[in-house]
Amino acid sequence: MPEGGLSTSEVGKQIAEHAERTKGTHDRHGWVIAVIEASLLALVALVAAWSGFSSAKWGTESRLKLAQAATARTEAATDQVAALTYRNFDSSTFTAWFVAYVAGDPVKMAVAERRFTPNFRAAFDAWMATDPETNPNAPQGPTYMPQYKQPYAVLGTALNNKADRLYSEGSTDGAHSDAYVRVTVYLALVLFLLGISGHFAIRGVRIGLICVAVLALAFSLGQLAVLPLPPV
């Protein structure tokens, strides 16, 4: 059985063999049974084609989303590294400023301030406005201020969330593909039962096999009815 569905060529082969076996059948009841078998084989061919198509579509959708999730995860890691690099730089410049401040060297303080990144500068100014030298309730440093923004960190978090969503959707789509493949297993059973029914001369055996095949086909159709349609 090929991946993604039952081959319609296999069903066509069974129909051709069935036509060959029933050629020349003149018994009325035998003719009716042969027509039922042929009709069921034709129906299996249609259902198998639909199931195989749906499985392939869901499988492709799953692989695409999983690939997109992996790409988003890589981009998120890159942004998080960039955010950490900028944070370390901001910390180093603030340390240089603080050392100069403690030493009472305004020239070095000014040099350190010129190295502040724009985001850190906004947070630093807001922090200085809290009068940290005399205010015991002032935040511990500029990075604790709400004005301190890290765009790369925000973007990394958003990409991680996107990766989680895509991975979840990709896994669900893969499960849909597997469900359609599972239906083809039931259809293969129907094909097998109808394929061997014509080899029995006893009419009761043929009817019994056809009944079991009909039940298996009805079960397969029920499974297909509850599965989501393939993506466009």
pLDDT tens-digit profile of 64-96? 999 999 999 999 999 999 999 999 999 999 999
In the numeric block, which tokens belong to residue 185? Answer: 């297993």
Residue 153 has pLDDT above 90, yes or no: yes
pLDDT at 35: 86
- Mean pLDDT value across residues 157-183: 96
What CA–CA distance (Å, rounded) separates 38 from 231? 32
Place of tokens 């205010």: 135
For 11, 41, 127, 159, the CA distances from 148, given in Å and listed in that order, are: 67, 69, 10, 21
- Mean pLDDT value across residues 3-27: 54
Residue 190 has pLDDT above 70, yes or no: yes
- Mean pLDDT value across residues 87-113: 94
Residue 199 has pLDDT above 80, yes or no: no
Q: Per-residue confidence at 1, pLDDT binned at 50, 70, 90? A: very low
DSSP percent split of the chain into helix, strand, coil, nearest 5: 80, 0, 20
- Mean pLDDT value across residues 34-38: 85
DSSP letters of 158-219? Answer: HHHHHHHHHHHHHHHHHHHHHHHHHHHHHHHHHHHHHHHHTT---HHHHHHHHHHHHHHHHH
In the numeric block, which tokens belong to residue 202? Answer: 């006893």
Residue 145 has pLDDT above 70, yes or no: yes
DSSP secondary structure letter of residue 133 = T
pLDDT at 2: 44
- Mean pLDDT value across residues 14-36: 63
Residue 9 has pLDDT above 70, yes or no: no
| pLDDT higher at 7 or 158 | 158
DSSP secondary structure letter of residue 2 = -
Q: Can you count the helices (H) and strands (E) in the chain?
A: 6, 0
Q: Per-residue confidence at 99, pLDDT binned at 50, 70, 90? A: very high
Dihedral angle over CA of 133, 139, 143, 145, nearest 10: -110
Closest residue by Cα to residue 49 from 88, 20, 91, 12: 12
| Mean pLDDT value across the chain | 88
Residue 33 has pLDDT above 50, yes or no: yes
* Residue boundaries of the structural domains of the chain: 8-226
